[in-house]
Structure 1
Amino acid sequence: MSTSEFDSFRPPEPAGGKRRKGKRSKRRGGGSGSDGSREMPMVPDAEFTSYYGRPVVKAPPWGHEVAAYLFLGGVAGGSGLLAAGAQLTGRKTLRRNTRLSALVAVGLGAVALVKDLGRPERFVNMLRTVKLTSPMSVGSWILSFFSAGIGVAAVFEIDRMTGERIPLGPLRPVLRALEGPAGLEAAVFAAPLAVYTAVLLTDTATPTWNAAYRDLPFVFVSSASLAASGLAMITTPVSESGPARNLAVIGAICDLISARVTEHRMDPVTREPLHEGAPGRMLEWSERLAAAGGLGALLGGRHRGVAALSGLALLAASALLRFGFFEAGKESARHPRYTIEPQKRRLAARRAAGITDDSITTAG
C-alpha cells in the first residue's frame, strides 16, 4: 500500500469498513422513484472546494518589506509633487523639507525592495530591459528616474544648508544649474511612482488585489497625498505649509470616497478580507485617522501643534491603508472560496448574457 504526504487529508472510512467483493448493497423500501428492485444512486451533490483543501492560487512570497515599499513609494511620490509646487511658488522651506523627505523615503524604499529581492544585483538586472507589459519592469525605471532627479535637487539643498561646505569642487556650479530642472524632472515621475504599485498588486492572481484593479490606483494616489501632506505639516512651519494643508483636506476626502467606491465595485466575497482580522482593523483605523487628520488640517491647521498632530494622523492613515490592503490580499490567497466563488458568478453572468461559445464558457 502506497503512502503520501496527503494521506492525512483523506476523508475517514465509513463505519463498517469497505464492502466485500461480489456483494452489492440494495436499497429496500422503495422510496420516491424506487421500485425496490434496483440500486439507487447514493452519491450526494458535490460541493467544490479544492484538492485536499489546498489554496487554488499561490500566495505571493512577499514580506513586510514590500508593504513598507508600497508606503514609502507613496511618501516619496507625494513629496516630490509638493516639492515641485513649492519650487514654482517660491516657498523655500517647504521645498527643502519635501525634497529631503522624498530623498529619505525613496532611499528607504529602495532598501526595502532590495531586501525583498535578496541581492542588490537583481534590481540592476531589472534595468537591463524595458518591458511595457510588466508593472515591475516599468516601476523599476520610474523609481530610477525619480531617484536621480530628487537626488540632485536634495544634494544641492543639503549643500546650501551646510553653507556650501560639502567638498563638491567643480561639481557645485553643475548642481546649481541642474537643481531646478532636476526637481521638475522628479515631479514628472512622482505621480507614477505613487501609483504604479497599485497596478503591480492588481496584476496578480491574488483575489482581493485583482478584484480592485479598476479603482485601486485612485486609492493609492489619495493615500500618497495623505502621507506627503502629513509629513510636510509635521516638518514645515504653518507660514509655508498652506499647500500641504490644502492637499491634506483634498486627499482625506478623496481617500474616504475612493476606498468606499473600490469596495462597492469589488465582488462581495473578495472584499471580505478587508473587514476581517488584522487587515480589517488596520483599514478601519486608517479611515478614522484620515477623517481626523483632514478635519484637523481644515479647522486647526494654522496652529503648529494641531498641524503636527493632524500630519501624524494622516501619515499613520496612509501607512495603515497600504499595510492593511497588502495583508488582506495575502489572506485572500490562502482560502479557495475567494477564488472559486467569484469565478462561478462571473461564469454564470456570461452564460446569462448568452456568451457560450468562447474559451471560458460552454453551453453545458
Structure 2
Amino acid sequence: MGALRQPRLLEGEALKRAFTARAETLGFDVVRIARPDGIPLAPERLKAWLADGHHGSMEWMVETAERRADPRILWSEVKSVILLGLNYGPAGDPLEALALKDRGSISVYARNRDYHDVIKGKLKEAAGLLAAKGGADVKVFVDTAPVMEKPLAQAAGLGWQGKHTVIVSRDFGNWLFLGAIFTTVELPADAPERDHCGSCRRCLDICPTKAFPAPYQLDARRCISYLTIEHKGHIPEDLRSGIGNRIFGCDDCLAVCPWNKFAQTARETRLVQRDDLAALPLAELARLDDAGFRARFAGTPIKRTGRDRFIRNVLIAIGNSGEQRLAEEAVRLLDDASPLIRAMAIWALSRLLSASELAQHAEERRDRETDAEVRCEWERALAGQEAAA
C-alpha cells in the first residue's frame, strides 16, 4: 500500500484566520497576535515598580520578575503570543451597591463563576486547533503564571493600558478578561494599539484610597482590590474608611471610564452577574463560619480569600456603615478564633459604640488577649474615643 496522505498543515495568515474563527466560536470577543519581543520597555518598568515597593506583599512578583518581563525567558521556543479577550460587561451601574451601607459590594468580575475556570477551558480548546492544524506546541495562561498580559495585549492591538493601568478597549471599555496562548508557530502579528486616554483622569480622581501616585502607576499597597483580596494581614487603619462597603475588590476606576459607553453586556452566561452576589447583607455575611463561607461562595473567585480575610473585610464595611444595629455582629466576633477578625471587630465597634460601651467590652477581653496586634487595636480604639470625647 502507498503511504497514507497526511493532512496539509496551515501556516501564517491561513492558520491565524482558522484560529480566530475557532476562538470566536468558543465565545472569545477579540483575538490579537503579539510578537514575543513586542514589550521591550516592560523589564525596566517592572523593575522600577518593584523597586518602589508598589507590589506590597506580593513577593511572587519579585521572584518571577525576569520571566514575567520577557515571554522568551518564560518559554524559549515561543514564536507568537496570542491574546484573547472575553467580555464581562455588567448590565447595570456596578457602583450602585456603594450606596447600600448595610450591604457589601462585590467587584463585578467576582459576581459569578471564577473566570479562571471559564477561560482556561476555552483556551485549551482553541489551542487544540493550533496543534491539529498548525503542528504547533502551545502553552495557555490565565492570570496565574508570570505573564504580563496587559502590556502584551497593548502590543497586540487588543487595547491600551489606561491611566489606571487596566486594559481599555474601544469596543468593550474596561470589561475584558484576558487569556494568553504561547505557541511555537509564527503567526502574523497585529499592530499595537495607541493610548486614547487623552487628558481624562476620571479613573485617578475617583480612587477612594488614592492608589495612583501618578498616571499609569498603581501603588498596590493603597489599592482596595489588593487590600481586600491579596493582602493577608491587617489593613492599615488610615485606609479603612476609604474602603467603604467594598468587601471584595473595587470597580470605581473601571466604572467611570468614558470608553465604557461602547461596552456590551457579557454574552457568556457563566460570567453574567448573579443577583445574589451584587449586594450582600453584612449581617448575614458576618455570621459565616468556615464551612458556611465555602458553601456560600463555592465556584466564585471570592473563595480564594478564605473566611478570615473575607470577614475582616465585612467588619470594615460594618464599621463604615454607621448602622448601630450591626454592632451586635461585631460584638459576637470579638471572641472569634482569628486575630485578624478580632482586631477588625474592635475597630468596627470603635465607630459604632459609645466610649463607655467600648470600654466595657475592652475590660472583659483586653487583659486575656494573647495577640499583640489585637491588643494594639484595643489601645488605639480606646485612645481614639478618649481623644474624640
Larger radius of gyration: 1
| TM > 0.5 | no
TM-score, normalising length from structure 2? 0.25
Normalized per residue, the structure richer in helix is 1
Greater strand content: 2
| TM-score calculated relative to the size of structure 1 | 0.26
